[in-house]
Amino acid sequence: MTGLSRLEFPQLSLEAGALLGLSINRGTRREWLFEAGITHSTFPKSGTMNDYDWTQYAGYPKVPFSYTYSDDSTVSWHASLEVAWTFATVNPLSFSLLGMYRYQSISHVEDSYTGWQYVWNPSYPPNGAWDLYTFSYPTPDVLEYTLTSHTIGLGFLADLQAFPGFHIELRACYTPVYVSDQDDHKLRTKLSTASGWGNGLYADLKAVYYLPRIAAGVTPYLALDGEVIYYVVDTTQTQYWYGNADAGNGAPQGTLITGVGHVITSTQYQLGLRIGFSF
């Protein structure tokens, strides 16, 4: 018999940040582009974390035995560095090689839990049966989950000068990623940790419109962009029970289990509006 568990964390926040860019041109053509940025979940929104559990016997489909949901609050940080080198220009298009690094830190805190669970009752004749329990508790801080990722990427940047003062830009990268996470089930007094390498994809579509110049050498602009980040990391987890052995937490205090299969999947969609100044 194998126990399976899946936790789904939302990523809902209105972020604020800053981006600094440097362009090196040769004549009217951009040759190099350097960008560094940082954002923070300045205005986080509440979401719902879903926790699913199954039992699976060899040769049979998995059977759900528990489901709970909790109120989620999230704090996140992002930092990035991107470098692009233009290798070809066919007006009005230019093509660049793109390299990137991105750091991300996400912390989730779960309050309350509501759901259902099957519990084996051996007293039912003739051989026992499963009882279904439902519950809802307002307990705060039932679970804390943190994840950090280091992403490197190599891909391309395509820039279309649609008309003077307006251009559309597409960036796409293959992204190896190193992830570490920590899951503290406080009700079970169980701490699970994992880390490992995985693979992902990054894509960003951006439209930039330059406004009339407001001073010598200063031109304001508006940028609207949509970003997709996806990665999968297949690694192993270490689980440690740090609580009281009499608290009904599934294992005695001090129990340590290593080599537990652990898959981290992240899909993030971001829509951004930027106001900037070009010098």
DSSP secondary structure, 186-206, as one string: TTTTEEEEEEEEEEEEEEEEE
Looking at residue 265, its pLDDT comes to 96
- Token pair for 90: 């066919």
| Range 2-278 classified under CATH 2.40.128.90 | yes
Q: How far apart are CA 31 and CA 84, in angstroms?
A: 8
**pLDDT beyond 70 at 41:** yes
**pLDDT beyond 60 at 245:** no
Could you count the other beta carbons within 10 Å of the beta carbon of residue 132? 9
> Cis ω on the peptide bond leading into residue 212 (within 30° of 0)?
no
**Closest by alpha carbon to 60, among 135, 147, 1?**
1
Nearest 5°: CA angle at 77, between 74 and 79? 160
* The residue type at 81: L
Q: pLDDT tens digit string along 115-130?
A: 999 988 888 888 888 8
**Domain layout of the chain by residue ranges:** 2-278
Q: Which long-range contacts (CB under 8 A, 24 or more apart) does 125-130 make?
A: 130/65
Buried b (16+ CB within 10 A) or exposed e, 212-248: eeeeeeeeeeebebeeebbbebebebebbbebeeeee
Q: What is the pTM of this model?
A: 0.89
- Token pair for 27: 């004549």
Nearest 5°: CA angle at 96, between 95 and 101? 145
Q: pLDDT tens digit string along 44-102?
A: 778 999 999 998 888 888 889 899 999 999 999 999 999 999 999 998 999 999 999 99
Dihedral over Cα of 20, 24, 30, 32: its sign? negative
- Token pair for 139: 């307990």
> Cis ω on the peptide bond leading into residue 64 (within 30° of 0)?
no
